[in-house]
Structure 1
Amino acid sequence: MDYSRVPGCSAKSWRASALPRIEAEAHPAHKGENMSENTRLTAGETAPTFTLKDQDGTDVSLADFAGHKTIVYFYPAASTPGCTTEACDFRDNINSLKSAGYQVLGVSKDELPALKKFRDEQGLNFPLLSDPDLAVHTAYGAYGEKSLYGKTVTGTIRSTFVVEDGTIVLPLYNVKATGHVASLRKRLGIDS
């Protein structure tokens, strides 16, 4: 796909490096367990709580969105083609998502400067959170083995979670970047 044809989107080079450790609270059902790629959250489970830095260095907690329906999505890396497509799709649909009562949070392992650049270049209108030690990815089962171009690799599993009142309502794993938001809107009953 030619990503330069997607309005307002461009794929730029990216660089990821470690930030100081950011603590995430362990999911009570998985505390002390080593979550593998086979461990998945299911609808009805308590959403793992977390506090991470956003692209501007501000602490953002899932608890900040109590009383709101929240979409938490995990993506591999800022400014890469698939992640740019997905982020721009959320950006372009943010008004209808908010009208239906949803807030959006994007989570990746990227450092804050990369997230800020990604937000600014793409005009993203929702928080991008940095999880450099992958603690939140792991708590949500969004990190592990996956197939990439026919090879098994370990990395971020593109995933989306709809959270309401601290509970996982809809867990989606191994989503496709292209068309994901349209599919999500349909599942949530949000008209086009």
Structure 2
Amino acid sequence: MQLTHATPTLRPSTSLRYTQAMEMLRRLSRLSRAIFATGRKRTQNHMTHIVAGNIAPGFSLKSLDNKEYSLATLVERGPVVAAFFKISCPVCQFTFPFLERLCKHYGGHAVTFLGISQDDARSTAKFAREYGITFPILIDDENGYVVSNAYGLTNVPTIFLIDIDGTVKVSSMGFDKKDLETVGAELAERKKISLAPLFRPDEIVPANKPG
């Protein structure tokens, strides 16, 4: 025997309530999508790291030898290369010896190289010894990553070349061979000296390594 399904007939009052309920659900759905989109946009804006052309946020941090370094004071003397890192990051370990080379070529009175560590001072000092880093390393860990957050860091290493007017000339995330060469070229031009090759002919250096 085949069953026959009767189609229910809605009374006018029931039909009206049903229509109103569906309209309310549609409005709530549109509202929730709008709130989600706004929140996502704000989060993305908050997390966007500082890029070339932006003004670098000021900072003042202490180094491993307890000396205070202020960006505002340093840029009065010349450009600043600030490299954020974590000691456990393999790409940071790969990158920092090349930063040390750049420092030996172009560092000095008119150009300041800084490492900005997200680890404690003791572990960071060990990192500096192991990888032969001689330029000052500042500690951001004890400050709750205040400076790292100000720069909107999402990955390490992240390297900034900051000009004397506070403008970011180069913003580089991870290891990027071309970006490091650009930093060298900018500093050579600033110091009016010959551009020194950063990579040796016998070295096999990838174009980039994501941080």
The aligned counterpart of 2:16 is none
Q: 1:70 deviation in Å?
A: 0.7
When residues 96 and 169 of structure 1 are mapped into structure 2, their CA distance, relative to the original with a 3 A threshold, is: same
When residues 168 and 88 of structure 1 are mapped into structure 2, their CA distance, relative to the original with a 3 A threshold, is: same
Q: 1:39 deviation in Å?
A: 5.0
1:116 aligned to 2:115? no
The aligned counterpart of 2:161 is 162
The aligned counterpart of 2:93 is 84
CA deviation string 1:111-152 (max 9, x = no partner): 11111111222221101111111111111122x3xxxxxxxx
Q: 1:42 deviation in Å?
A: 4.2
The aligned counterpart of 1:25 is none
TM-score, normalising length from structure 1?
Answer: 0.63
Separation in 2, partners of 1:177, 1:183:
10
When residues 164 and 107 of structure 1 are mapped into structure 2, their CA distance, relative to the original with a 3 A threshold, is: same
The aligned counterpart of 1:13 is none
The aligned counterpart of 1:182 is 181
2:79–2:163 Cα contact (<8 Å) kept? yes
Specify the SS of the correspondent of 1:49.
Answer: coil
Quote the sequence identity (%). 22
Greater share of helix: 2
Q: 1:98 deviation in Å?
A: 2.1
Q: Within 5 A, what are the aligned runs for 1:120-131?
A: 120-131=129-140
Specify the SS of the correspondent of 1:110.
Answer: coil
The aligned counterpart of 2:116 is 107
Question: Alignment partner for residue 50 of structure 2, among 35, 40, 56?
Answer: 40
Listed as ranges, the gaps of 5+ residues in structure 1 are 1-32, 145-155
Listed as ranges, the gaps of 5+ residues in structure 2 are 1-41, 190-194, 197-211
Report the number of matched residues.
Answer: 146
Separation in 2, partners of 1:134, 1:173:
19
When residues 47 and 116 of structure 1 are mapped into structure 2, their CA distance, relative to the original with a 3 A threshold, is: same
**Amino acid aligned to 1:168:** T
Question: Alignment partner for residue 137 of structure 1, among 148, 157, 173?
Answer: 148
CA deviation string 1:5-56 (max 9, x = no partner): xxxxxxxxxxxxxxxxxxxxxxxxxxxx98622353441x432111112122
Separation in 1, partners of 2:132, 2:156:
24
Say which structure, 1 or 2, has more relative contact order (CA 8 Å, 6+ apart): 1
The aligned counterpart of 1:53 is 62
1:91–1:126 Cα contact (<8 Å) kept? yes
RMSD: 2.8
1:162–1:171 Cα contact (<8 Å) kept? yes
TM-score, normalising length from structure 2?
Answer: 0.58
Separation in 2, partners of 1:126, 1:52:
14
The aligned counterpart of 2:78 is 68
Is the radius of gyration larger for structure 1 or structure 2? Answer: 2
Specify the SS of the correspondent of 2:47.
Answer: coil
Specify the SS of the correspondent of 1:78.
Answer: coil
Separation in 2, partners of 1:51, 1:69:
16
When residues 189 and 57 of structure 1 are mapped into structure 2, their CA distance, relative to the original with a 3 A threshold, is: closer
